[in-house]
Amino acid sequence: MNKREYMFSILDFVLVLFVIATVDASVPAGGGFDENYVVTWGNVLKLNQGEVQLSMDKSAGSAFESKHKFGSGFFQMRIKLPPKDTAGVVTAFYLTSKGDTHDEVDFEFLGNREGKPIQIQTNVFNNGQGNREQKFVLWFDPSTDFHTYGILWNPYQIVFYVDKIPIRIFKNNKKYGVGYPSKPMTVIASLWNGEGWATDGGKAKINWSYAPFKANFQSFSDSGCHADGGNINAEACGSTTYYWNTIQYSRLSANETTAFKNVRAKYVTYDYCSDKRRFPVPPTECRLNQ
C-alpha cells in the first residue's frame, strides 16, 4: 500500500472528526497498570503506570492480562504496533474466558513486510466455536503512533471500534440460535509468533534481524462489570447503571452508522460471510448483523 492509500479523503477525515466529536465513547480516565493488570509471561517493560511495552525475540513473546473477569463492558486500549518488517508477528488485544469451550472477542494485528499494510483480524467465539473472521486494512499506519481500539460488549451487541469508529458489529441473536459470548472474560494483550499463518497464509516468515519486536500499550482503566465467579450475574452485568448497557449503546447512532458503512465499503479485505468456499450457505448471523 502506498502513502496515498493510507490517507483518508477530505470527506472521510471530516466524517471521522464529526463522529469523534459526537460519540460518548471516550477512553476511561484513571487506573494504573498494576492496579488492574498483571504480567503473565515474557518480557514486559513498565515504562510507567500509564504505558507498558511488550517485546518478542526468537526465544519468546509476552503478555499481560486483567486481574478481574468481566460480564460486560466497554474495553479500550491505546496501542502502537511494532514498526518496519513485522511479517509473522501478531499483536493481540482481546477478551477470553479461556478453556476448550471458551468465549472470545478478538482484535489481532497481523504484521507484514515493510511498506505493506498491517491487517486487523477480528473474530468472535462462543463455546469454543469461532471461524467468524473479518479482516481490515487501516486508513493510517498503526506503527507510527498510538490509536484507540475498543470492544463494546453488552446484552445487545458486540462492536469493534478503531479511534471511536465502529468497524464491525456482532448482534446478540440468541433467539435465532446464534451463539453469543456470555461467560466471564479476561482482558488480554499479547505479542507472539504467528508466522505459521498470519502473513500471506504463513508463507511470509519472521525476519528475526528486526527483533526484538516491540508493541506499546496505554490506558489500563477498569471499564467492565466484574464477574470473577464461575458465571455472569446477567441481571447485574446487564444493568443500565453501567453506561455501556444503556439504550444509547444498544445500536449505532446515525453518525456511527454512516462511519461504519464507509469503513465497510473501503477497508474490509476479508469477510467470512462472503466466503462461499468455506460457507456455501452463509451462517445465520451474517444476515442478522447487516
User: 90 vs 105, 112, 158, 215, CA distance in Å?
Assistant: 16, 10, 22, 10
Who contacts 153 (Cβ-Cβ below 8 Å, separation ≥6)?
70, 72, 73, 74, 75, 95, 105, 181, 185, 224, 244
DSSP lists the bridge partners of residue 191 as 62, 91
**What one-letter code names the amino acid at 157?**
Q
Catalytic residues: 104, 108
Q: How many CA atoms lie within 13 A of 158 on its CB side?
A: 23
Q: Cα separation of 165 and 161, whole Å?
A: 5
Q: Cα separation of 50 and 228, whole Å?
A: 25
